[in-house]
Each structure stands twice: as structure tokens, then as C-alpha cells.
Structure 1
Amino acid sequence: MDVHAGTFDPNEFAWRGLTMTASAAEHIRQLVSKQPGIQGLRLGVKQTGCAGFGYVLDTVNEPQKDDLLFETDGARLWVPLQAMPFIDGTEVDYVREGLNQIFKFHNPKAQHECGCGESFGVQAE
């Protein structure tokens, strides 16, 4: 039996991409309009929390060379190529929860979330 273990190269995949709701796009455009030099947001992931991974949002002055750009109605969202295996297909929303307004991530790759909703886990394919 020949077992071949290859390496993972995110450049070799056809990504479905990320989408933004109208509410998320509007909020990103508002953030950009209030901060000179900001081009949009970057959505990444980091290992954290009780479920494994957490979302990280940062402002973007200058995109990184390996960032993928997703744009909706003039709102720009960059994603590091290395994060795509964990968040490909995610819809980014901006919602009101009680007195707070927050970004919500509807990620089809998330197999489970922690109780507080701050982290998620993915199942290896």
C-alpha cells in the first residue's frame, strides 16, 4: 500500500469566497469614511478560545501581498490566504444584539462553537 502525504498549498484551491450583508458593507464603509488612510477591514483567524479558533478583524491601511479581496457595494474586506481553509464561504453580517452592535460570522466550515460564541472549531477534511 502506497501512502502519500502531500503538503497543503492554499494557492491550489478554488475558493468560494466571503460575502457581506448590506448591513456589514454599510458599517465597513462608515468605518472607512471616518478614518483617513483606511481602505477596509481584514478578517483573519487565530488559535484561541475553548473551541479552537477565533475571528480577528483589523483595519487595513495597506493590503498584504497574499490577501484576497472581497468587495460588496464599495466595502472592502481582505482575507489572508492562510485563513481561507477555515473561513471560506463565510457570510459577514453586522447586527444589533441588545444594546450592542457587532459583526457576526455565518461560517459553513464551523463544526462547533464555544458557549460564548467567541471561538469555533473545524473538522479536518
Structure 2
Amino acid sequence: MKISITPKAKQFISRMIRMCGGTKSSGMRLIVGEGGCSGFATDFSIVEEPLQSDTTWEDGVRLFIPKECLPFFEEAIVHFIETPTETRLIVLSGRKNNNSCGCSSLPPDHSNG
């Protein structure tokens, strides 16, 4: 499994861990579930340790990914967007095209984002 985490996403994840009182063993648990315009939506929580069935990915920050979500994260890019009108963490899956939509999902035929 290969995941890329952008510098802005690393800063956001680190900030969230600090704000939640996390320690060096804490990380962000990223979950992909049903929802969104392509049938997928992402959610996250800050946790002290991964669940036994989670896969841990470390690249400056720790991500805990549930086993059932692993296929979505293959070749994924975790990115953070912050503008005057929105703030969100998105996961762009390498299994889909390079477009994303506002619900953090990647529709197969969504050409306008």
C-alpha cells in the first residue's frame, strides 16, 4: 500500500492530534464509508492507538486505516484544503480518476470536480 500525504495534510493532522491531547503514539483513523456523489465519503477521528485490525501508515504523522478500507487507499493522496469558504481533508484514491468532489469522494465520471 502506498499513500502520499501532502505537507498541508501533515500539518492539519499534527494540529488535530495536538488539539485532541494526543501523544506520540496517537494518530488519525481514516475511514471510507458509503455516501457522497460517487458512493464513498471519508471520515476521521483522532485516536491513541490503532485497532488490532487497522493498518498503520507513517509518513511524518500516523494514519490508522481499517482493513475493510485498504483497497480505497491504494495509491491514495491525502490532502488538506483551506480557503476562506472551506476547510476539509480529502482522500484522492489512485483507483479512480484524478477528479474529486466536495464530499471527499471520487466519482468515476465526475469531470468538473
Fold match (TM-score > 0.5) = yes
Q: Deviations over 1:38-81 (max 9, x none)?
A: 612111111123321111212213311111111122x1111112
What's the counterpart of residue 11 of structure 1? Answer: none
Say if 1:86 and 1:109, in contact at 8 Å, map to a contact too.
Answer: yes
What's the counterpart of residue 31 of structure 1? Answer: 16
RMSD: 2.4
What's the counterpart of residue 97 of structure 1? Answer: 83
Alignment of 1:34-49 (within 5 A): 34-37=19-22, 39-49=26-36
Instruction: Quote the sequence identity (%).
Output: 25
What's the counterpart of residue 69 of structure 2? Answer: 83
Normalising by the residue count of structure 1, what TM-score does the alignment of the two structures yield? 0.69
**Paired AA for residue 64 in structure 1:** L
Provide the C-alpha distance between the structure 1 equivalents of 2:85 and 2:40, rounded to a whole number of angstroms. Answer: 26
Secondary structure of the equivalent of 1:64?
coil
Normalising by the residue count of structure 2, what TM-score does the alignment of the two structures yield? 0.76
Say if 2:38 and 2:107, in contact at 8 Å, map to a contact too.
Answer: yes
Q: Label 1:49 to 1:27 Cα distance change in 2 as closer, same or farther (>3 A).
A: closer
Provide the C-alpha distance between the structure 1 equivalents of 2:3 and 2:55, rounded to a whole number of angstroms. Answer: 10
Q: Which runs of 5+ in 1 are unaligned?
A: 1-14
What's the counterpart of residue 93 of structure 2? Answer: 107
Larger Rg: 1
Provide the C-alpha distance between the structure 2 equivalents of 1:109 and 1:32, rounded to a whole number of angstroms. Answer: 28
Offset at residue 31 of structure 1 (A): 1.4
Q: Which runs of 5+ in 2 are unaligned?
A: 109-113
Say if 1:19 and 1:70, in contact at 8 Å, map to a contact too.
Answer: no
**Paired AA for residue 69 in structure 1:** T
Offset at residue 25 of structure 1 (A): 0.9
Q: How many pairs are equivalent?
A: 105
Report the structure, 1 or 2, having the larger strand content.
1
Deviating runs (4+, > 4 A) in structure 1? Answer: 111-114
